[in-house]
Chains A and B, each alone.
Chain A
Amino acid sequence: MGRETLIDEIRTKLGDAVESVSESYGDDVLAVRPGFLRSLMVALRAAPFDYAVLLDLTCVDFTAGEGRFELVYHLYSLSRNVRLRLKTSLPAADPVADSITGLWKNADWLEREVFDMFGVRFTGHPDLRRLLTYEGFEGHPLRKSYPWRLAQPRIPMKDKV
C-alpha cells in the first residue's frame, strides 16, 4: 500500500476521528479528536493498516488553555515498514484521554510516565500512578509551569515490603 492510498483509506474509513492529515519531515501525522482516540487505535492496529507496534507515547505542554497538552503517539507497521504519528490535544483544565492499555502492553508504563510527567489522566488504565518519580512527589515536572531545579519536600522513609 502506497502512502497516498493509505491516507485515502484512513480518510474514508476513519474520517470522523481525523481532524487533519499532514506531513512533517517525511513522516505522516494524523491529528485526532480525543474522543475517537481509542476507536481509531483499534482500527489502525487491525488490517489493512496493521500498525502492530506502539513505538512511543509522549506529551507536549503548549501552555495555552484549549489544546494545552498534546499527546503524541508513534505507531509502526512491521508488515508495511512505515511509521505514523498521531496527535491529540487535551484541554488544560481537565486533561483526560482514553487508555490504550488493552491494545498494547507497553502502553501501561508509557501512560504512567505521561501521567507522572504531565498530569494527564488516562481513563481505563488499571494502575495509574507515578513511574519515574516517587509517591509524594509534588507537581508534574515536564509541565512548563514547573520550574527547572525546583526542590521537592522531604518524604518519610518507605516502609519495608
Chain B
Amino acid sequence: METRIQREARPESMLINMGPSHPAMHGTIRIMLELDAERILNAEVEVGYLHRGFEKTCENKTYFNLLPYTDRLNYVSPLINNLGYAMTMEKMLGVGVPERAQLIRVLMSELSRISDHLTCLAAMAMECGAFTVFLYMMKAREFLWDVIEFTTGARMTTSYIRIGGVRADLHPDWRGSLATAVRETRRVLKDVSGLLDKNSIFQGRTRGVGVISKEDALSYGWTGPCLRSTGIPYDVRKASPYLIYDKLDFEVPVGEFGDNFDRYRVRMREMEQSLRLLEQVAALIPGAAPITGEPAIEPAEAIRVSRRQKTAARIRLSPNLEGSEKARYADLMTSDRPAALGSTACGVVVPPKEDTYTTMEGLISHFLFFMNGHGIRPPKGDVYFSVEGGNGEVGFYVVSDGTDRPYRLHLRAPCFHVVSALEQLIKGRLLADVIPTFGSMNIIAGELDR
C-alpha cells in the first residue's frame, strides 16, 4: 500500500522513517520524511499506534465504571482527565459540588498541570542534549507526585476525582508534602531557567524553529500553551471559569513568535503561575475538623455488633478504600439527588462503605448504585464540557439515551489538533529540527490515539 508521501515523492530524494519506535519519539508515532540531504521536502505523520478503542469501551461501561479509563488518556496528568469527565457528568446531572471538594480539585489540577509541563520540557530538553534538565525536572515531578500519591494512593492511575466530588479527603500531612513540592519545584525551575534560557545550543535549536502563525494555530484548533505561545491568551480557566478559578489570582502567560522557544517559555511561566495557584488554594483549604464521637472500631467488630443491633460506632477503614469516610462525605461528595434520576435512584455518589457493611438500607443503596441498569442514569440529551488540561482544552462530549451507559462519549483531545500541524511545521526545515519541534508540542499518545 502506497502512502501519500510515497506517491508524491521525487525520484531523486530519500524516504526515511522516524518512529514509531524511535528514541526521540516519546510516544509511538511515525513520521515519514522525504529528504534532500538534511532538508525535509515532505512529511507525513501517522498516528494510531496506541489506539485502544477508548470511546467504544466507554459505550459498554457504566458512567461510574468508565472513570478509570479516563486516567489513561493523558497519563501524565490523569487528574485533569478525571476532572473533565466528572464535571461533564455533573453538568449533565445538574449537581453541585461542596466547597472543600472544589478546592481539592483545583489543587490536584494544578499539581497535574505542573507535572505535565515538567514532563514535556524534560523530554524536550533531553532530546536536545540537556540531560541534566531532564533529571532535575523528573526530580521535581517526583515531589509533586508524592503529594498526589499520599492522597490518592496512586501516582498516575488515580481515579480520584469522582462524579459529585472527590474520593477521599487530603492526606493528614498534605501541607508538609505540598510545601516541599512547591519549594523543590521553584528551585528546579530556577535551575532550569539558568541552564536553558540563555544557552546558545538550546536557543539555536528552538528559536525561530517550528514557527506557527496565529492564524494557522487557530485554523489547526490549537489550544493551551501551544496556542498561547503565538500570543493568543486563550485559557479555559479564564474564558469560561469552572470550579473557583474566577476567584483566584493568576496570569495567562503568552509568547510572541509561536516558535519552540516560546512554547518552552510559556510552559515555564505557566508553572510559576500554577505554583502561585497551589499556594493560594492551600491557604483557602481549611484544616479538616477532627472526627468526634465514639472511638473507631475494626470492620470485623462492626459487622459482629451490627448482627445484634444497628451500630452508630465509627468504623476504622483504610483511607484508600472506596468511600470509607462517611464523616467527611458532606465536605467531599455532593448530596444532591437530581430529580431527573427518579425517585428510586440512590444519588450520584457511592454510598458510604460504613453503611454498606452495617445496615440493610446501606446495602440496598449500594446495590442500587452498582446494579446493571441502575446507578447513574442521566436524562436523554447531549452535553459538552471542557477544562484546561496540560496540553489545552480537554473536552468531553457525552450523549445519553437515559440508560446507565453513555450512548456515545467523545474526547476532544488537545494533542490531536496540535499534532495535525506537525507536518506543516517541519516541512522545509532540517531533519534535526523535528526533535525540538516534536518535543515542544508535548505529544501524549494516550489521548491522541484514544
Please name 24 pairs of A and B residues whose Cβ atoms are closer than 8 Å in the assembled complex, sorted by A. A24-B383, A25-B92, A53-B218, A55-B395, A56-B412, A72-B382, A72-B410, A74-B384, A74-B395, A78-B234, A105-B220, A106-B220, A130-B48, A132-B47, A132-B48, A132-B51, A132-B450, A133-B48, A148-B53, A148-B56, A158-B1, A161-B3, A161-B15, A161-B17
A53 touches B16 (CB 8 A): no
A118-152 interface (Cβ within 8 A of B): 127, 130-136, 141-142, 146, 148
A60-93 interface (Cβ within 8 A of B): 60-61, 72, 74, 78, 81, 83, 85
A31 → chain B closest CB, angstroms: 12
A16 close to chain B: CB less than 8 A? no
B185 → chain A closest CB, angstroms: 31
Looking at B262-270, B316-324, B413-421, the stretch in contact with chain A turns out to be B413-421
A92-126 interface (Cβ within 8 A of B): 104-106, 108-109, 117
Q: Given known contacts A27-B383, A78-B234, A161-B32, what 16 new A-B pairs fall within 8 Å (CB)?
A: A24-B383, A27-B384, A55-B412, A56-B384, A58-B397, A58-B408, A60-B407, A72-B382, A78-B232, A81-B240, A104-B220, A106-B220, A106-B420, A132-B47, A142-B55, A160-B17
Chain A residue, CB-CB nearest to B410:
A58
A159 to B218, CA, bound (A): 36
A21 → chain B closest CB, angstroms: 15
Residues of B within 8 A of A148 (CB): 53, 56-57, 59-60
B129 close to chain A: CB less than 8 A? no
A40 close to chain B: CB less than 8 A? no
Residues of A within 8 A of B17 (CB): 160-161
B221 close to chain A: CB less than 8 A? yes
B298 → chain A closest CB, angstroms: 42
B13 → chain A closest CB, angstroms: 12
B91 touches A109 (CB 8 A): no
Residues of A within 8 A of B32 (CB): 161
A106 touches B399 (CB 8 A): no
Residues of A within 8 A of B393 (CB): 55
A residues contacting B by CB (< 8 A) are 24-25, 27, 52-56, 58, 60-61, 72, 74, 78, 81, 83, 85, 104-106, 108-109, 117, 127, 130-136, 141-142, 146, 148, 158-161
Category for how many chain B residues contact A = 35 or more
Given A132-B47, A148-B60 in contact, is the A85-B384 Cβ separation under 8 Å?
Answer: yes
Chain A residue, CB-CB nearest to B9:
A161
Chain A residue, CB-CB nearest to B386:
A55
A8 to B384, CA, bound (A): 23
Instruction: Give per-residue flags for B208-225: 1 if the beta carbon is below 8 A from chain A beta carbons, else 0.
Output: 000000001011110000
A53 to B47, CA, bound (A): 23
A85 to B393, CA, bound (A): 16
Residues of A within 8 A of B16 (CB): 161
A60 touches B399 (CB 8 A): yes
Chain A residue, CB-CB nearest to B91:
A25
Residues of A within 8 A of B420 (CB): 105-106, 108-109
A72 to B234, CA, bound (A): 23
Candidate in A25, A108, A135 with the most chain B CB atoms within 10 angstroms: A25
A81 to B238, CA, bound (A): 10
Candidate in A52, A109, A117, A130 with the most chain B CB atoms within 10 angstroms: A109
A74's partner among B51, B92, B397, B399 (CB-CB below 8 A) is: B397
B449 close to chain A: CB less than 8 A? yes
Chain A residue, CB-CB nearest to B92:
A25
Chain A residue, CB-CB nearest to B60:
A148
A10 to B6, CA, bound (A): 45
A131 to B448, CA, bound (A): 11
Residues of B within 8 A of A135 (CB): 1
Residues of A within 8 A of B218 (CB): 52-53, 78
Instruction: Give per-residue flags for B232-275: 1 if the beta carbon is below 8 A from chain A beta carbons, else 0.
Output: 10100001100000000000000000000000000000000000
B373 close to chain A: CB less than 8 A? no
Residues of A within 8 A of B3 (CB): 161
Residues of B within 8 A of A108 (CB): 420
Q: Report the 10 A-B pairs with minimum CB-CB distance, sorted nearest first.
A: A132-B48, A106-B221, A109-B420, A58-B410, A132-B51, A56-B412, A105-B219, A60-B408, A106-B220, A161-B15
A35 to B16, CA, bound (A): 42
B4 close to chain A: CB less than 8 A? yes
A104 touches B219 (CB 8 A): yes
A148 to B383, CA, bound (A): 24
Instruction: Give per-residue flags for B1-32: 1 if the beta carbon is below 8 A from chain A beta carbons, else 0.
Output: 10111100000000111000000000000001
B381 close to chain A: CB less than 8 A? yes
Residues of A within 8 A of B1 (CB): 135-136, 158-159
Given A81-B240, A135-B1 in contact, is the A161-B6 Cβ separation under 8 Å?
Answer: yes
B221 touches A53 (CB 8 A): yes
B240 touches A131 (CB 8 A): no
Given A83-B384, A109-B420 in contact, is the A56-B56 Cβ separation under 8 Å?
Answer: no
Residues of A within 8 A of B6 (CB): 161
A127 to B417, CA, bound (A): 17
Instruction: Give per-residue flags for B388-403: 1 if the beta carbon is below 8 A from chain A beta carbons, else 0.
Output: 0000010101010000
Residues of B within 8 A of A117 (CB): 55
Residues of B within 8 A of A130 (CB): 48
Chain B residue, CB-CB nearest to A78:
B234
A41 to B433, CA, bound (A): 35
A86 to B334, CA, bound (A): 33
A104 touches B383 (CB 8 A): no
A141 → chain B closest CB, angstroms: 6
Residues of B within 8 A of A60 (CB): 382, 399, 407-408
